Amino acid sequence: MRIDIISVLPALLESPFAHSILQRAQKKGLVEIHVHNLREYATNKHKSVDDYPYGGGSGMVMMIEPFARCIETLKAERKYDDIIFMTPDGEVLSQEIVNQVSIKKNIIILCGHYKGIDQRIRDFFVTREISIGDYVLSGGELPAAVFVDAIVRLIPGVLSDETSALSDSFQGELLDAPVYTRPANWNGHEVPPILLSGNQAAINEWRYEQAIERTKKRRPGLLGD
Ligand code: ADE
């Protein structure tokens, strides 16, 4: 998979992709992540990427030309399955959306700033708009990093234990059961004895019950009827 991200603050996206699972996935050649500096595609001599809104109002609006140039440059090199705009008024990100996007070959992600981006970018280029939740961040970079992390860990071969993505909270309808590691007794607080029993069938059953209990308590909406 190839992911191209267009941003005015590419430095914000360096660290999230340079560690741990995301770094390993790139080293293994399972995903290519390219961050493009929007300012390099500015068309005027001041290298502006934003301008005052028509009709007045507060805040600057990101201009169409730099985005158009960058997107056209990328599209001339390969076909893209989706051009995704990170925005608080998009569809709210879910594991289902992550699953859908993780099987695409090439995608572009646009990060906005300021008051928003010229509506024509959304009308003419964007195929999907995604929000990471009902709160407003100062730009689309952190949302893009969240989205890319969720996508990349689903690409086959990225996680060393392939079953672990399948048993994630949200991958089924249930939240995960609680997990424990050593010591078995911490200041008198013991690990549930069943986990030390060696009886795998009983442990699986316990985990399933715990997952149901946790889901009922915390996210009953996930259980349906
Ligand atoms: N840009 C600013 N806030 C955002 C959010 N909640 N989701 C996606 N992009 C955003």
CATH of the domain at 59: 3.40.1280.10
Pocket test for ligand 1, best of 6, 13, 62, 87 (most atoms within 8 A of CB): 87
* 203 is a domain residue: yes
* 162 is a domain residue: no
Q: Atom 5 (ligand 1): residue with closest C-alpha?
A: 88
Same domain, 119 and 212: no
Q: Which pLDDT score is estimated for 170?
A: 79
Residues 155-210 pLDDT 10s = 999 998 755 777 787 777 899 999 999 999 999 999 999 999 999 999 999 999 99
Residues 111-127 pLDDT 10s = 999 889 999 999 999 99
Same domain, 185 and 127: no
Q: Which pLDDT score is estimated for 162?
A: 55
Same domain, 41 and 146: yes
* 77 is a domain residue: yes
* 69 is a domain residue: yes
Which residues make beta-bridge pairs with 189? 186
54 close to ligand 1 (CB < 6 Angstrom): no
* 120 is a domain residue: yes
* 164 is a domain residue: no
* 163 is a domain residue: no
* 158 is a domain residue: no
Same domain, 148 and 106: yes
How many angstroms separate the alpha carbon of residue 90 from the centre of ligand 1? 8
Contact by Cβ (8 Å): 140, 36: no
The widest CA-to-CA distance across the chain, in whole angstroms, is 71
Same domain, 66 and 176: no
Residue 200: phi, psi to the nearest 5? -65, -40
Question: Could you tell me the residue range of the domain that residue 173 belongs to?
Answer: 169-223
Same domain, 51 and 139: yes
- Residue positions counted in the chain: 225
Same domain, 34 and 79: yes
Same domain, 117 and 176: no
136 close to ligand 1 (CB < 6 Angstrom): yes
Q: Which pLDDT score is estimated for 172?
A: 77
Whole-number mean pLDDT of the chain? 95
Q: Atom 6 (ligand 1): residue with closest C-alpha?
A: 88
Pocket test for ligand 1, best of 98, 109, 136, 148 (most atoms within 8 A of CB): 136
Q: Which pLDDT score is estimated for 163?
A: 58
Q: How many structural domains comprise the chain?
A: 2
Whether the predicted pLDDT of 89 surpasses 80: yes
Q: Which of 51, 37, 48 is nearest to 7 (CA)?
A: 37
Distance of CA 158 to the CA centre of its chain: 15
How many angstroms separate the alpha carbon of residue 105 from the centre of ligand 1? 24
Q: Atom 2 (ligand 1): residue with closest C-alpha?
A: 137
Q: Atom 4 (ligand 1): residue with closest C-alpha?
A: 88
Same domain, 145 and 217: no
CB burial of 168-187 (b: ≥16 within 10 Å; e: otherwise) equals ebbbeebbbbeeeeeeeeee
The mean pLDDT value for 8-12 works out to 97
Q: Is 152 exposed, middle or buried (0-12, 13-18, 19+ CB in 10 A)?
A: buried
The mean pLDDT value for 46-68 works out to 97
pTM of structure: 0.94
